[in-house]
Amino acid sequence: MNVTNDNAVQLLLLLRQEPYTDAGLVGTISNLAGFIEACDSVLETMRSFSSLDSGTPPTETGGAGGCRMIRCGIPAHYLQRRVSELRALAETAISVEGVINYA
């Protein structure tokens, strides 16, 4: 699964995971049953309050001889889609007695 660092941090915090370690944005999720419960809770909340996952528009700042910063935005339902993918990954990890590593 490939996401930007900003989106990874947002997803991990949403799922009650600490994204940062002494080594930076790396870690292991070994409590997969608890992780699946967190995924289910987040998905239920987002279905109940769709505005929580309505996305953000792209923005551009700076330019005109200075540094130009472009944030591409996040499409609607992005978080639901990614949390669902993470939940499926956790189910697969359980079935092979594995863990989820991220970096």
**Is residue 49 a part of any domain in this protein?**
yes
User: pLDDT by residue (tens digit) across 17-62?
Assistant: 988 877 788 889 999 999 999 999 999 999 999 898 999 999 998 8
Decide which of 26 and 63 is more confident.
Answer: 26
Q: Total structural domains in the chain? A: 1
- Cα-Cα-Cα-Cα dihedral sign, residues 25, 26, 32, 34: negative
Place of tokens 């940062």: 20
Domain that holds residue 22: 5-53+70-102
Q: Return the closest-CA partner of residue 51 out of 17, 73, 79, 83.
A: 79
Asked if residue 58 is part of any domain, the answer here is no
Side-chain-facing half-sphere of 99: CA atoms under 13 Å:
7
Interior/surface letters 5-38, b for 16+ CB within 10 angstroms, e for the rest: eeebebbbebbebebeeeeeeebebeebeebbeb
